[in-house]
């Protein structure tokens, strides 16, 4: 008789242990690679805001008028991106090395009310921005489009900062990679319109760290090498060009409230459109 209550207690405990194991197994069901890709595209496409920290190291080898030129530059950028309102506030530095000179400048950029404001030395200039301008600045949007254009591979998972992460290798459409690279290098890379642009991407590797709970990208590292031959350049002044870049991003303050405020000194920024009109009038 005394064993009855204890037996019931044991059975009750055993029941809850089994239920707990079954529940735990159901919650940790392994996702397929396609499911992870679908969820990360959805989560990152719906991200409303974030803070970005970016480091980009680039080596460029080219020829100008027959002489080889090596240019190195390191760019650091940090600031807030408001995707919901297409606004941003970014600050950073650009360190260059060319012909023995090592110029350095601080950068400050705002995107507010449809205008891109940039501080050039002590002067502010502004210009109307287009969708391409926004796409170049929204790095999460850029990564999401690359992921959507191709496939992904799962690597070994990692844990840091109290979170667990899927480590994902991106295998995008190389044409999309080339198009994005040409947009970034539009002024320094005058490429002929007749070439197959995906052929200029000689090496590409991109890895993202995906929060396992939220499926948002919190970190990425991209390495890319682009080579444009002499015959593919759209100018005779510049010869072949080789560009190697390493880009590292870290993302924080995801979906947190953002208040982008234009500095008072930028209110009187010079409009590039007005400068262009003045130049035309001066020479007409």
| 61 vs 284 pLDDT, higher one | 61
Handedness of CA 159, 171, 88, 125 (dihedral sign): positive
Q: In the structure, what pLDDT confidence band is assigned to residue 270 with cuts at 50, 70 and 90?
A: very high
For 8-50, write each residue's pLDDT tens digit: 555 555 555 554 444 444 445 689 999 999 999 999 999 999 9
Q: What percent of the chain has pLDDT over 70?
A: 79
Q: Look up tokens 């400068």; give the residue.
A: 275
Span 95-115, average pLDDT: 92
DSSP sequence for 149-213: HSEEEE---EEETTEEEEEEEEE--HHHHHHHHHHHTTTT--B-TTS-GGGGEEEEEEEEEEETT
**Which pTM was predicted?**
0.81
Q: In the structure, what pLDDT confidence band is assigned to residue 182 with cuts at 50, 70 and 90?
A: confident
Contact criterion met (CB below 8 Å) for 242 and 259: no
Domains of the chain by range and CATH? 31-256 (2.50.20.20)
Count CA within 13 A, CB hemisphere, residue 120.
10
pLDDT the model gives residue 16: 52
- Alpha-helical regions (H) of 28-106: 33-45
* Class of residue 109 by CB neighbours under 10 A (exposed 0-12, middle 13-18, buried 19+): middle
For 75-101, write each residue's pLDDT tens digit: 999 999 999 999 999 999 999 998 889
Residue 284 pLDDT > 70, yes or no?
no
What is the chain's mean pLDDT, rounded?
A: 84
Strands (E), 15-145: 49-64, 67-82, 87-98, 104-112, 115-120, 123-128
Residue 279 pLDDT > 80, yes or no?
no
Compute the distance between CA of residue 84 and CA of residue 255 in angstroms, rounded to an integer.
10
């Amino acid at each position: 008789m005394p064993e009855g209550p204890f037996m019931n207690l044991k059975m009750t405990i055993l029941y809850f242990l089994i239920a707990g194991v079954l529940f735990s197994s159901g919650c940790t069901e392994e996702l397929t690679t396609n499911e992870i890709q679908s969820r990360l595209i959805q989560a990152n496409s719906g991200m409303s805001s974030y803070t970005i920290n970016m480091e980009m190291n680039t080596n460029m080898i080219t020829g100008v008028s027959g002489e080889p030129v090596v240019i190195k530059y390191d760019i650091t950028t940090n600031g807030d991106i408001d995707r919901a309102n297409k606004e941003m506030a970014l600050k950073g530095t650009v360190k260059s090395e060319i012909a023995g000179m090592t110029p350095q400048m601080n950068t400050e950029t705002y995107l507010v009310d449809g205008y891109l404001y940039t501080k050039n030395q002590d002067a502010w200039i502004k210009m109307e921005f287009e969708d391409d301008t926004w796409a170049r600045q929204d790095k999460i949007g850029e990564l999401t489009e690359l992921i959507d254009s191709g496939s992904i591979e799962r690597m070994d998972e990692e844990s840091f900062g109290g979170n667990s992460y899927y480590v994902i290798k991106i295998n995008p459409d190389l044409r999309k990679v080339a198009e994005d690279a040409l947009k970034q290098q539009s002024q320094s890379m005058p490429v002929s319109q007749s070439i197959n642009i995906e052929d200029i991407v000689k090496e590409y590797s991109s890895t993202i760290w995906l929060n396992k709970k939220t499926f948002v990208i919190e970190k990425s590292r991209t390495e890319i090498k682009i080579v444009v031959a002499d015959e593919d350049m759209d100018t005779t002044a510049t010869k072949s060009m080789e560009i190697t870049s390493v880009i590292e991003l870290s993302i924080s303050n995801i979906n947190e409230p953002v208040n982008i405020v234009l500095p008072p000194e930028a209110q009187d920024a010079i409009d590039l459109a007005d400068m262009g009109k003045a130049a035309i009038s001066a020479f007409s």
